[in-house]
Amino acid sequence: MAATMRSKWLLCCIVIFSHCGPGTALYADQVGKFDWRRQFIGKSEFMEFDESQSGSGRRVLVATESNVLASLNARTGEIVWRQIFQSGDSGRIDAMHHKENTLLTLSGNGKYLRSWDTATGNLIWEEITDNKIEQQTRKSTAMYSDKEHIAVLTQSTVFLRSTKDGSALWSNQLPNSDTVKYHWIHASDKVVYVVGVAENSHLSIVSYSLDNEGEQISQRPLPAAWASSSSKVSCVVIGNTHLVCIESLTNSLHSVALKDGTSFQNIPVIALGLQGSDITQPNIMPLFSTRPEFVIQLTAEHLVLVRLEGGGVKLVQDLPKTLLTTAVSTTHQDIIVTLERKTEVVYIVSCIDAKTGTKIKDSKQLVTIPKHNGQPTQVSVFFFSKKDTQLGYRVMLQTQDYALTFVQQPGKILWTREEALSTILSVEMVDLPVTDTEAKFEDEFGSHQGDDIFSMFMRRLTTQFAQLQGYVMSLKRRLRHGHQHEHLTVQDVKLDKNSNNGEDDNEDDDYMRRDQFNLHKMIVIVTESGKLYGMDSEDGSIIWRHFLPKLSYFERNGKRSLPMFIQRTTAHFPHPPQVVIVGRDKDSGFTRLHTFNPITGKPSNPGYPYGSLLEFQLQQVTMLPFMDQEFLKVILLLDTQQKVHVLPAGDLAMLKDKLPSIYMFTVNTTEGSVAGHALRQISDEQLESEVVWNVQLPGDQVITNVVAKRPIEHVHSQGRVLGDRSVLYKYLNPNLVAITAEGIDTAGKAFLNAYLIDAVTGNIIFATNHKRAVGPIHMIHSENWIVYEYWNSRFRRHEITVLELFEGSKDRNSTTFSSLDPPNMPVVARQSYILPVSIQSLATTYTEKGITNKAILMALQTGGILNMPKQFLDPRRPQIPTAAHKEEGLVPYLPELPITTEAFINYNQTVFGVRGIQTTPAGLESTCLVLVYGLDVFFTRVFPSKMFDVLKDDFDYYFISTVVVGLLAATLITQKLAAMKTLKKAWR
């Protein structure tokens, strides 16, 4: 009997799920109509031209800080193939080596050694080791490779592998690895050299035979009191013969023969004849594996080309204003390429013959890099022979904003990849301004004191004439463009404008205007590199870009943030919209503010194009719902000295009466404490905060998430109608903050605690504990419910918990809520579910009025974006439904959440490395706009309750019109016939 009942309920659930899933599916003709995707690779760390395809250099191999190995088409910049490693340190690429047909990577702190097919990106072989490399030993110093061998250096071992199949040839333990930290590895003449540092004592050089199973040849300690593992000392092998180090304490070079040297030869940098040159950050950079030339970096823009001769160093050429150098060996020549700054945006690329130290004739080219890219930080060059027997070359640059730029002679930029978009920290979707005609209507109904009837009538005529003129112009554009203007990007419109001799000067302006249902928006983006973007939500094209070189992010518990606030929207015509970004200054660590127009990207204060510096360190920032006379919302900044700063500064007088109702809270994540602050005025121009409550979480708990409700949220219903027609009222506390904290219990087991705290009074409304649960934790907080996901280490599965708060069957106050006079403690309904997959981010949908049902958006580790109706995450789902439950529409409880392919809103457009999901209401109540950002960027629309307020695309207007006209004609005819019949009947 019980089995029969379970079968019935299972069948019922399957029927319900089958009706819920297809609502989010796409038809074939809808693919790409309302959505778009942009794929990126991240900030480059290793960059080389691929010469395996007949030496053509048509592809560029790139390994990035986003744990991505990729191949780019050198002609278009498009991704040919891309391999995404594991997230975090386990997938971090430590070293990349490319020579001829061999592409090798070392990742995961030396754990994974892989060989790749450069043409397809397929994995040829993979070897997993139990070794770990030092952080200081990363990049090229961690691995040395030739055609047949790969030598890898770890913390305590050095091992040799075959490039053919990765098989182990030999492995040796490094001597005295407990006191000596080995950082450099090199191989020449069938000998592998490993160099280590004994802090402030000596350098140790250990040599092994490349053959003979790695037999140790020698071990030599070289006295060096300046020796250090820090960044103040850098060492390289020059010409396969000498180890050369430079240290910043005395700004001296130290050279020793790698094979049999017994002591260092000290050479002061000033002895090179560079008197008067400032030395701020000395560094040494190798150029060739066999030649004796190398580069010394004196400052950020001053390099020196030197040559090693007879154990001494000789100045070859002074390179002032030079940012970067690289070297390439061709068939006939060894060439050094330099990048020199000429102006703020113009750079000179030159070629120097390494043998003579003279510049090669006709090799110089000027490259103009846009100001919004910053200066170059990395360069890679590929040389080729032209048809006229001259030597040509291509240059790949990476700039401060992480962008990759491809340059071809003579200084022509073929393409640029905006890789900063792979490191988005903050996103806002801003409403576009109304058209000029609608703006005139706003002006017409605005306040105009002293206007008489005649002036108001003339203004009305002028407005309607402008409306008619705009309509005629739109018809003209539609006829010329063949009804395709709605899908043009801004760049396309500008090209069309130029081709029509300025006939459409305002066409691009008309395009970036608010549409009828407010579906077209400006996506404002702030990235990790300090670059700002304005993107068109229609197709993802970039409208404007602005780079803030001194802006840095805040970091707490490994999470980076750059708060962004919409201080004034486009609704307050004629005042322009304004957005504020709050960050940290890279140099001083003080607070840096940048205000700008989100539609144009132009700074609100032209005198501070890169933001203004506030000389205090920020502790907390929040935006209040109060507006001043210019419709700017007030922003409060709390510094580390407990002083409160008001932005705009003149709004302090406006807040005097509101201070008793304003509270702020701060969180110390490492100590596990939360403090509440009340504001008080200490002078006419200054506010101060006072700690009024403090919550110290018990034990050594680390706070991992602090989530409050979004201010844009609208709650349509205060209660929930039950199956017996009674109402269960929601606990809608606008001051409620959800917090998660992790720790280790007395038994050594990890646990997770979730707290709901009132940010005004500090009262803990609810707390719950999850034993043997660990992060990363993803959480959302909306209306009266909280959803969070975690890893259950006991059962080794992902779980998701939902909490829903209710006041009960009586509504204490239906108009206002006060934390100082709160209702009784809420009734908390909770349930947990099993997720069969791992997720990267959680979000919920928001609509304009809050009438539409909520949906939970989950970014899965597999690249899919799952649209989960909120009804599946309802804590009141019954195990055995009653008639009242069925009347209410509750889904029977099953521990596992369903995942159907139809519920993926990105169908086959996979999105990897997701950092967050931003949802914004549209003008249609049924529609929510979604932007998923991470390594890739994806935009679409979702309809949680389907499109109940919009007619379908295949709605037959002609048929309905024909029916209506037919009914109207039939009504008139029958009315006439009935009148004639009545008249005849009256005459009888």
Q: What is the pLDDT of residues 224-259, one digit of tens each?
A: 988 887 777 888 888 888 899 888 888 888 999 988
Residue 782 CB-density burial (10 A; 0-12 exposed, 13-18 middle, 19+ buried): buried
**For residue 116, what pLDDT is reported?**
94
pLDDT at position 939 is 96
pLDDT at 494: 37
Rounded to whole angstroms, how far apart are CA atoms 175 and 206?
8
What CA–CA distance (Å, rounded) separates 266 from 638?
Answer: 52
Tell me the sheet residues that pair with 235. Answer: 245
Phi-psi region of 110 (alpha: psi -120 to 50; beta: other; left: phi over 0): left
| Gyration radius (Cα) of the chain, Å | 34
Taking the C-alpha atoms of residue 94 and residue 105, their distance in angstroms, rounded to an integer, is 8
Q: What is the mean pLDDT of the chain?
A: 85
Strand spans (E) along 814-925: 827-835, 839-844, 855-860, 865-869, 916-921
Across the range 138-148, mean pLDDT stands at: 74
pLDDT higher than 50, residue 501: no
Structure tokens that stand for 75 in this block? 């002609």
Nearest to residue 392, comparing CAs of 52, 57, 53? 57
- Tally of CB atoms within 10 A around 579: 24
**C-alpha–C-alpha distance, residues 667 and 6, integer Å:** 47
The pLDDT of residue 510 is 61
Residue 116 phi, psi (nearest 5): -125, 150
Q: Does residue 377 contact residue 301 with C-beta atoms inside 8 Å?
A: no
Greater confidence (978 vs 497) lies with 978
Backbone angles phi, psi at 744, to 5 degrees: -120, 130
- Tokens representing 492? 């396309």
- Say whether pLDDT at 301 is over 90: no
**Is pLDDT above 70 for 320?**
yes
- Rounded Cα distance between 547 and 372, Å, is 5
228 phi and psi, to 5 degrees?
-155, 150
Using pLDDT thresholds of 50, 70 and 90, give the confidence band for residue 468. Answer: confident
CA–CA separation, 135 and 133 (whole Å): 6
Give CA torsion, residues 75, 76, 78, 81, to 10 deg.
Answer: -20
What's the mean pLDDT in 410-418?
91
CA distance 50 to 62: 10
* pLDDT of the residue at 443: 58
Exposed (0-12), middle (13-18) or buried (19+): which is 258, by Cβ within 10 Å?
Answer: buried
The angle at the Cα of 313, spanning 307 to 319, to the nearest 5 degrees, equals: 55
Give the pLDDT mean for 476-484.
57
Higher pLDDT residue, 16 or 921? 921
Region 294-319: mean pLDDT is 87
And the tokens for 761? Answer: 């009074």
- Whose CA is closest to 190, among 173, 177, 208? 208
Contact 598, 546 (CB under 8 A): no
- Residue 265 near residue 255, CB atoms below 8 Å: yes
Residue closest to 616 by CA, chosen among 566, 568, 567, 686: 686
Helix and strand totals (H; E) in the chain: 7, 66
pLDDT at 43 over 90: yes
pLDDT of residue 189: 85
Tokens of 777: 């934790």
Greater confidence, 729 or 132? 729
Distance between CA 563 and CA 545 in Å, rounded?
18
Q: How many Cα atoms are found within 13 Å in the side-chain-facing hemisphere of 461?
A: 6
Q: Give the phi and the psi of residue 786 in degrees, each rounded to 5.
A: -130, 135
Kindly report, residue by residue over 859-904, the tens digit of the pLDDT.
999 999 999 999 999 999 999 989 888 888 899 999 999 898 889 9
Q: What length is written for the chain? A: 988
**pLDDT of amino acid 405:** 94
**DSSP 8-class letter at 272:** G
3-state secondary structure of 115: strand
Q: Check whether 54 has a pLDDT greater than 60.
A: no
Q: What is the rounded average pLDDT of the residues 63-78?
A: 93
Handedness of CA 477, 478, 481, 487 (dihedral sign): positive
pLDDT tops 70 at residue 483: no
Report how far residue 607's alpha carbon sits from residue 957's, in angstroms, rounded to the nearest whole number.
Answer: 55
Report residue 193 as tokens.
């050299």
734-743 per-position pLDDT tens digit: 999 999 999 9
Compute the distance between CA of residue 296 and CA of residue 777 in angstroms, rounded to an integer. 46
563, 589, 604, 646, 665 from 615: Cα distances, Å: 18, 9, 20, 14, 22
Band of pLDDT at residue 709, cut at 50, 70 and 90: very high
- Over 90: is that where the pLDDT of 535 sits? yes
How confident is the model over 100-105, as a mean pLDDT? 85
Instruction: Kindly report, residue by residue over 615-645, the tens digit of the pLDDT.
Output: 999 999 999 999 888 889 999 999 999 999 9
pLDDT band for 656, please (50, 70, 90 cuts).
Answer: confident
Per the model's pLDDT, the better-predicted residue between 369 and 508 turns out to be: 369
Which residues, 6 or more positions from 113, have their beta carbon under 8 angstroms from its beta carbon?
104, 105, 106, 126, 127, 128, 129, 150, 152, 161, 166
